C-alpha cells in the first residue's frame, strides 16, 4: 500500500503536469529525492530483530534454563551481565517472546513480565506494577472464561439454560460457575501508584499471582539501578516469594551492566538471584560487522551503502568497547545525514560526520545534566573564550567565577574545589585543561573548550536561568579585566 502510494508520488513529482494543483511546494523537492531507507525503524534501539548474530550460546543457555517453565517446573533464577550494547536486553526479549509463543502453542500457562528498573525504581512501584499487571491478566482470563461459559450456556436446548429451571443440572452448574467468576471479577482491586502500606501491596501481588496455576518469569532489566536507588529489599521479597505461593511459581531474571552490583546485595539475595549467571562479552569489530550487515539489508534500500560504510561503523563502535547500540546509531545517523544532504548514497564521509555528531550530542547531554556549580564554571570559561583571552588559567577562571557568583547571589566554592570541578569537566571531554609550568611561580592549568563554543553557549543559555544573557557579564568583565 505504502509502496504503491510512494511510487505514485514520485511519478507525479518527477513528471509534473503543466498545471499542477497548488499543494505541497515545500515538500516537493524533499519528496522527489529517492529515499535511502527502506525501513528506518529496523535500526532503532526499541526494535528487537528475530536473529541476533553472535549471541547463539547466550540465547541457548537462557532457553535451556527457561524450558523448565514449559514443563511446569520453576526455572532457576539468572543474573545476566555484560557491558552496555552487548545485546542483553535484545536477547532476553527474543527468548521471552519465544517462550510466550510456545506457552500459547502448548497451552501451558507461563507469563513473562519485563520491568525496566531505571524507570520503575522503588520497592513500592515494582510490587504495584507487578500486582496490577497480574490483576489485569486475571481480569482478561476471567472475562474470556465467562464468555466461553456463556456460549456453552446459550448452546443448551431451550428451558435447560435458565437458572430457575430445575431440569438442567448442567445449566445450573454453568450459572454457578459464571456467578462465581463474576464475584471474582469484583474482588480484583488494583493497587494505587502510592499510598498503600508495602505489605498490603505485596500480599495483593501474591494473591493476584496465585489466582491460578502458572509459571511467571519476572525480568528486572537494569537491576543495578534499582539496587543503587532503593537497596535490595524488594529483591529479598521477590526471591523468597515462592514460599508464599501455592498454585503459581516465580522465576527472576536480573540484567545488569555493572558486574560489581552484587557486592551490595544481602548474601542470601545474592545466592538466590545468581543461581545461574550468563555473561555477555563485548563484540569485536568483525562481529559488529555481521550484526550491522544483517540489519542493514532490510533497513536500507538496495545499493545505497557504499563500500566501507559498515566496516567503518563497526570499527568506530569496536573502539567504544564493542557496543552494538553505538554501531547502529552510527549507521542510522550516517543514513540520515546522507538523506538530509539530498544524496542517494551513504559514504564513509557520512559515517565520519555521524561519529562527530553523536559525540557532540553526547557532550551536550552531559552539559545539560551538570550540577549548577559546574555549569557556572563552564559558563565562566565560555565568557573568557568569547573575550579571546589567549591563555586561560585556573586563577583567571576562579576570579571571574567568584565575581559571577556574587553578581548572581550564588554560593562561592573554594579555589581548590573549582580546580577539581575543572578537572571533572576535562574528564567529561567538555574542556581541555593542560598543566603548564609558570617557572618560579609554579604550575597552572591552561584551559580551552573541547567542544564548539556555539554549542556550549546554546546549551547553557537556553536551559539555565542563572546565566541570563552573556551581555550581562560585560560589565563585570570590564571591571575585572579593564577592557
Contacts with Mg ion by CB under 5 A lie at 89
* From 16, 49, 192, 452, residue interacting with ligand ATP (rule: CB under 6 A): 49
262 sits near ligand ATP (criterion: CB under 6 A): no
> Which residues in the 81-100 window bind ligand ATP by CB under 6 A?
82, 84-90
Strands (E), 4-138: 78-82, 110-116
Nearer of residues 89 and 373 to Mg ion, judged by Cβ = 89
How far apart are CB 137 and Mg ion at their closest, in Å? 24
Residue 450 CA to residue 360 CA, distance in Å, equals 10
Which phi and psi angles does 365 have, rounded to 5°? -65, -40
Q: What angle do CA 374, 375, 376 make, to 5 degrees?
A: 90
Query: CB of residue 54 vs Mg ion: minimum separation in angstroms?
Result: 16
Q: How far is CA 417 from the centre of its chain?
A: 34
**Would you count residue 55 as binding ligand ATP (CB under 6 A)?**
yes
Grid cell at residue 59: 540465547
**Per CB under 6 A, does 289 bind ligand ATP?**
no
CB of 118 to Mg ion, least distance (A): 9
CA-wise closest residue to 255 among 226, 288, 296, 233: 226
Query: How far apart, in whole angstroms, are the C-alpha atoms of residue 315 and residue 330?
Result: 11
- 45 binds ligand ATP per the rule CB under 6 A: yes
Q: Is 78 in the site for ligand ATP (CB under 6 A)?
A: no
- 40/83 with CB nearer Mg ion: 83
**Helices and strands in the chain: count of H runs, count of E runs:** 19, 8
Sole residue written with cell 553578581 = 407
**For residues 461 and 370, is the Cβ–Cβ distance under 8 A?**
no
Total residues contacting ligand ATP by CB under 6 A comes to 21
When the beta carbons of 133 and 289 are compared against ligand ATP, the nearer one is: 289
Tell me which residues in 328-347 interact with ligand ATP (CB under 6 A): 328
Nearer to ligand ATP (CB atom), residue 257 or residue 419: 257
Beta strands 443-449 and 392-393 are: antiparallel
Structural contact between residues 238 and 273, judged by C-beta atoms closer than 8 angstroms: no
- Of 145, 301, 311, 325, which lies in the binding site for ligand ATP, with binding defined by CB under 6 A? 325
Q: How far is the CB of 325 from ligand ATP (least distance, A)?
A: 4
The minimum distance between CB 283 and ligand ATP, in angstroms, equals: 7
Q: In this structure, are residues 466 and 410 in contact, taking their beta carbons and an 8 Å threshold?
A: yes
Distance CA 309, CA 301 (A): 14
Stretch that binds ligand ATP, among 78-86, 161-169, 339-347, 443-451 (CB under 6 A): 78-86
According to the binding rule CB under 6 A, does residue 116 interact with ligand ATP?
Answer: no
Residues making contact with ligand ATP (CB under 6 A) = 45, 48-49, 52-55, 82, 84-90, 257, 291, 295, 324-325, 328
Amino acid at each position: 500500500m505504502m509502496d504503491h502510494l510512494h511510487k505514485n508520488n514520485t511519478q507525479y513529482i518527477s513528471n509534473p503536469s503543466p498545471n499542477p494543483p497548488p499543494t505541497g511546494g515545500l515538500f516537493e523537492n524533499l519528496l522527489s529525492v529517492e529515499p535511502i531507507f527502506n525501513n528506518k525503524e529496523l535500526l532503532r534501539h526499541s526494535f528487537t530483530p528475530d536473529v541476533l548474530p553472535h549471541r547463539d550460546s547466550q540465547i541457548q543457555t537462557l532457553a535451556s534454563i527457561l524450558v523448565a517453565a514449559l514443563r511446569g517446573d520453576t526455572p532457576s533464577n539468572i543474573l545476566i551481565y555484560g557491558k552496555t550494547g552487548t545485546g542483553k536486553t535484545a536477547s532476553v526479549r527474543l527468548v521471552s517472546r519465544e517462550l510466550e509463543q510456545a506457552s500459547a502453542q502448548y497451552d501451558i500457562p507461563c507469563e513473562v513480565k519485563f520491568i525496566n528498573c531505571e524507570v520503575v525504581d522503588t520497592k513500592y512501584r515494582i510490587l504495584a506494577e507487578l500486582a496490577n499487571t497480574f490483576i489485569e491478566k486475571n481480569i482478561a482470563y476471567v472475562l474470556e472464561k465467562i464468555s466461553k461459559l456463556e456460549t456453552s450456556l446459550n448452546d443448551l436446548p431451550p428451558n435447560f439454560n435458565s437458572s430457575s429451571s430445575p431440569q438442567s443440572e448442567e445449566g445450573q452448574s454453568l450459572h454457578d460457575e459464571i456467578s462465581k467468576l463474576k464475584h471474582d471479577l469484583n474482588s480484583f482491586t488494583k493497587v494505587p501508584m502510592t499510598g498503600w502500606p508495602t505489605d498490603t501491596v505485596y500480599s495483593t501481588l501474591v494473591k493476584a499471582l496465585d489466582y491460578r496455576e502458572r509459571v511467571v518469569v519476572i525480568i528486572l532489566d537494569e537491576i543495578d539501578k534499582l539496587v543503587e536507588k532503593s537497596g535490595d529489599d524488594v529483591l529479598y521479597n521477590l526471591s523468597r516469594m515462592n514460599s508464599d505461593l501455592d498454585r503459581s511459581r516465580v522465576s527472576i531474571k536480573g540484567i545488569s551492566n555493572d558486574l560489581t552490583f552484587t557486592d551490595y546485595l544481602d548474601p542470601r539475595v545474592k545466592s538466590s538471584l545468581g543461581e545461574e549467571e550468563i555473561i555477555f562479552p563485548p563484540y569485536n569489530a568483525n562481529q559488529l560487522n555481521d550484526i550491522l550487515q544483517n540489519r542493514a539489508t532490510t533497513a536500507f534500500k538496495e545499493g545505497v551503502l557504499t563500500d566501507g560504510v559498515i566496516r567503518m561503523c563497526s570499527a568506530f563502535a569496536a573502539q567504544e568497547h564493542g557496543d552494538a547500540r553505538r554501531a547502529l546509531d552510527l549507521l542510522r545517523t550516517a543514513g540520515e545525514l546522507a538523506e538530509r544532504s539530498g544524496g542517494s548514497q551513504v559514504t564513509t564521509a557520512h559515517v565520519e560526520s555521524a561519529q562527530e555528531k553523536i559525540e557532540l550530542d553526547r557532550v551536550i547531554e552531559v552539559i545539560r545534566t551538570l550540577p549548577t556549580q559546574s555549569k557556572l564554571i563552564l559558563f565562566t570559561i565560555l565568557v573568557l573564550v568569547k573575550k579571546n583571552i589567549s591563555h586561560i588559567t585556573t586563577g583567571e577562571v576562579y576570579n571571574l567565577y567568584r565575581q559571577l557568583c556574587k553578581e548572581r547571589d550564588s554560593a562561592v566554592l573554594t579555589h581548590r574545589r573549582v580546580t577539581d570541578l575543572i578537572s571533572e569537566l576535562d574528564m567529561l571531554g567538555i574542556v581541555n585543561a593542560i598543566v603548564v609550568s609558570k617557572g618560579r611561580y609554579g604550575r597552572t592549568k591552561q584551559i580551552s573548550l573541547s567542544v564548539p563554543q556555539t554549542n556550549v553557549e546554546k546549551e547553557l543559555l537556553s536551559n539555565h536561568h542563572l546565566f541570563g544573557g552573556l551581555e550581562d557579564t560585560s560589565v563585570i568583565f570590564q571591571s575585572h579585566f579593564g577592557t
